Amino acid sequence: MNIKKYFSNSIRLIDKALDRILPKESAEPRTLHKAMRYSVFTGGKRIRPIIVIESAKACGRKNSKGVLAAACAIELVHSYSLIHDDLPCMDNDDYRRGKPTCHRVFGEANAVLAGDALLTLAFKVIAESLPAESAVAAIRKLSSAIGSFGMVGGQAMDIAKTKYRSVARVLNTINTLKTAKLFEASAAIGAISAGADGRRRRALASYGLSVGIAFQIADDIIDGEGYARIVGHEKARRDCEALVLEAKASIASLGLSASVLKAIADYIGVRRR
CB 211 within 8 A of CB 243: yes
Q: State the pLDDT at residue 270.
A: 84
**Before 131, cis peptide (omega within 30)?**
no
Domain ranges within the chain, ordered by starting residue = 3-270
Question: From residue 39, how far is each of 70, 110, 136, 138, 180 by CA, in Å?
Answer: 19, 12, 27, 24, 21
Pick 3-270's CATH classification: 3.10.129.10, 3.40.190.10, 2.60.40.1180, 1.10.600.10: 1.10.600.10
Name the nearest CA neighbour of 212 among 249, 238, 246, 170. 246
**What is the pLDDT at residue 75?**
98
Structural contact between residues 188 and 208, judged by C-beta atoms closer than 8 angstroms? yes
Q: What is the pLDDT, as a whole number, of residue 166?
A: 66
Question: Rounded to 5 degrees, what are φ and ψ at 95?
Answer: -135, 145
What's the pLDDT score for residue 4?
Answer: 87
Q: Which amino acid is at 110?
A: N
pLDDT for the residue 272 = 53
Helix/strand/coil percentages in the chain, nearest 5: 80, 0, 20
pLDDT confidence of residue 31 = 98
d(CA 88, CA 108): 8
Q: Residue 141 is which amino acid? A: K
CB 32 within 8 A of CB 83: no
pLDDT tens, residue order, the chain (273 aa): 788 899 999 999 999 999 999 999 999 999 999 999 999 999 889 999 999 999 999 999 876 899 999 999 999 999 999 999 999 999 999 999 999 999 999 999 999 999 999 999 999 999 999 999 999 999 999 999 999 999 999 999 988 877 776 677 888 899 999 999 999 999 999 999 999 999 999 999 999 999 999 999 999 999 888 889 989 999 999 999 999 999 999 999 999 999 999 999 999 988 755
Please, are residues 101 and 92 in contact by the beta-carbon 8 Å criterion?
Answer: no
Task: Supply angle C-alpha 132, 138, 141, rounded to 5.
Answer: 140
